[in-house]
Amino acid sequence: MRGVAGRAAARLLVVVLGVLAVLAVAWPASAHVGGEVAGSDFDGRVTSVQPAVSGVSVRVLQFGDALEVVNTTGTEVTVPGYSDEPYLRIGPDGVWRNRHSPATYINLDRYGRVTLPEGADPRAEPEWVLVSTEPQYTWHDHRTHWMSEGQLPPAVAADPTHAHTVFDWTVPMRHGDTAFTVRGELTWEPPPSTELTWGLHLALFVVVAAAGLLARTPRPLAWALGVGAAAALWHAAATPEPPVTVSSHTAALLSALLPAVTAAFVALLGVRAALRGRGVMAGLAALVLGWLLLVQGLPDVDVLWSANVAGGGPDALTRAAVAVLVAGGAGLVVGGLAAARRFRDPERARPAPESQPVG
């Protein structure tokens, strides 16, 4: 009876974990909600807003690639285009964008690689189009980031082993009749050593995979499962504040926590099975957890070789968490598959009692 119960429990575990895995696909895999990249060697920041305007906030997003303006006042903020033509109006009635401004089209692409339509003329009378009903807007402003794709700034190319200030930038704006200037800087930092990065990740993969490939008991898998769950939860908790035009920080955290909590639940099942010596169940849990970790970590894999990281905590912890999600997740897939094949549950491993002769 115990053997039958063990086999039934194993089948049930497979079904439950399969359902959870399918559900996880529908949830956002990356904690960097609304972002295009999770790491970059460039970084941008606002250094001053002069004069300061109460109720108007400006910040740089995506390592200098985008500019966000939030205006909670009853007066419009206007932003000019690159030829000083009317471009944006951000106010209590929402966001209005000038259809005739070349910036309307140039800013649609990160590198400005667009063909301007015939109506794009900075000298034309503005034609305002409502693009948002909220008093906030995020856009690619090419005054704040490096525009040459695949080419480093001259100072960086000459000395790529040290940090550099690429340039200082300014974006003029108006709040009603009051002109103000947003000033900032774009910097570059050397990325981590490629040899060290790949060496550490390979070592992590080997150690985790060995827990299922070589260990004599499933107990080492329990440690790997626990570390994987901790990495998933930290990765979710360190979700950075997204653009206000995309989501609130609370919504982003909740969205990121759904797959992380699922991963932690799967890990808990696997740890319990491993500590009880049920190697098949532990291996199946490791296999599914590894897949879940990869789903979470792969969208953010660029943090492993970037100088700057998009995260709500220390860069080192964010990198470590993604390393566990990716390298450790791959190791759990390999080790879990091996463990599910190598181990046998005690009930199934126990030899059947010999029949006794009658008489």
Residues near 186 by Cβ (< 8 Å), separated by ≥ 6?
A: 42, 43, 44, 64, 144, 145, 146, 165, 166, 167, 168, 169
Picking from 51-55, 240-244, 262-266, 337-341, which range would have the lowest pLDDT averaged per residue?
A: 240-244
| Same-domain check for residues 149 and 48 | yes
* Assigned domain for 256 exists: yes
| Same-domain check for residues 169 and 241 | no
Range of the domain at 260: 2-36+192-348
| Same-domain check for residues 253 and 142 | no
- Average pLDDT on 2-8 reads 50
- How far apart CA 342 and CA 335 sit, in angstroms, is 10
Q: pLDDT band for 186, please (50, 70, 90 cuts).
A: very high
Q: Express each pLDDT in 309-343 by its tens digit.
A: 988 888 889 999 999 999 999 999 999 999 999 88
* pLDDT value at residue 196: 87
% residues pLDDT > 90 (the chain)? 72
Tell me the pLDDT of the chain averaged across its residues.
87
Cis peptide before 154 (omega within 30 of 0): no
* Assigned domain for 356 exists: no
* pLDDT value at residue 251: 80
* Assigned domain for 358 exists: no
Task: Decide which of 188, 219, 252 is a domain's last residue.
Answer: 188
* Assigned domain for 357 exists: no
- Average pLDDT on 118-139 reads 96
| Same-domain check for residues 88 and 233 | no
* pLDDT value at residue 307: 93
Kindly tell me the sign of the dihedral angle through the C-alpha atoms of 117, 120, 124, 129: positive
| Same-domain check for residues 156 and 272 | no
| Comparison of pLDDT for 324 and 246, the residue scoring more | 324
* pLDDT value at residue 30: 43
CA distance readout (Å), 267 to 201, 229, 346: 21, 6, 21
Residue 58: pLDDT over 60: yes
Picking from 96-100, 254-258, 286-290, 326-330, which range would have the lowest pLDDT averaged per residue?
A: 254-258
| Same-domain check for residues 178 and 270 | no
Q: pLDDT band for 356, please (50, 70, 90 cuts).
A: low
* Assigned domain for 129 exists: yes
| Same-domain check for residues 79 and 184 | yes
- How far apart CA 283 and CA 218 sit, in angstroms, is 8
Q: pLDDT band for 18, please (50, 70, 90 cuts).
A: low
| Comparison of pLDDT for 253 and 334, the residue scoring more | 334
| Same-domain check for residues 218 and 311 | yes
* Assigned domain for 215 exists: yes
- Average pLDDT on 229-244 reads 89
| Same-domain check for residues 334 and 206 | yes
| Same-domain check for residues 323 and 338 | yes
Kindly tell me the sign of the dihedral angle through the C-alpha atoms of 204, 206, 208, 211: negative
- How far apart CA 283 and CA 285 sit, in angstroms, is 5
Sequence letter at residue 269 = L
- How far apart CA 113 and CA 252 sit, in angstroms, is 31
| Same-domain check for residues 129 and 167 | yes
Q: Express each pLDDT in 212-229 by its tens digit.
A: 999 999 999 999 999 999
| Same-domain check for residues 32 and 64 | no
How buried is residue 121: exposed, middle or buried, by Cβ count under 10 Å (0-12/13-18/19+)? middle
* Assigned domain for 302 exists: yes
* pLDDT value at residue 256: 82
Residue 117: pLDDT over 70: yes
Residue 351: pLDDT over 90: no
- Average pLDDT on 117-130 reads 96
Q: pLDDT band for 7, please (50, 70, 90 cuts).
A: low
Q: Express each pLDDT in 61-115 by its tens digit.
A: 989 999 999 999 999 999 999 999 999 999 999 999 999 999 999 999 989 899 9
When divided into structural domains, the chain yields a total of 2
Closest CA relative to residue 263, chosen from 13, 12, 17: 17
Residue 347: pLDDT over 70: no
Task: Decide which of 125, 156, 188 is a domain's last residue.
Answer: 188
Residue 34: pLDDT over 50: no
- How far apart CA 315 and CA 321 sit, in angstroms, is 10
Q: Which residues pair with 188 in a beta bridge?
A: 42, 164
**Longest distance between any two alpha carbons in the chain, whole Å:** 112
Task: Decide which of 157, 188, 219 is a domain's last residue.
Answer: 188
CA distance readout (Å), 196 to 192, 324, 328: 8, 15, 17
- Average pLDDT on 174-201 reads 94
* Assigned domain for 359 exists: no
pTM: 0.80
* pLDDT value at residue 91: 97
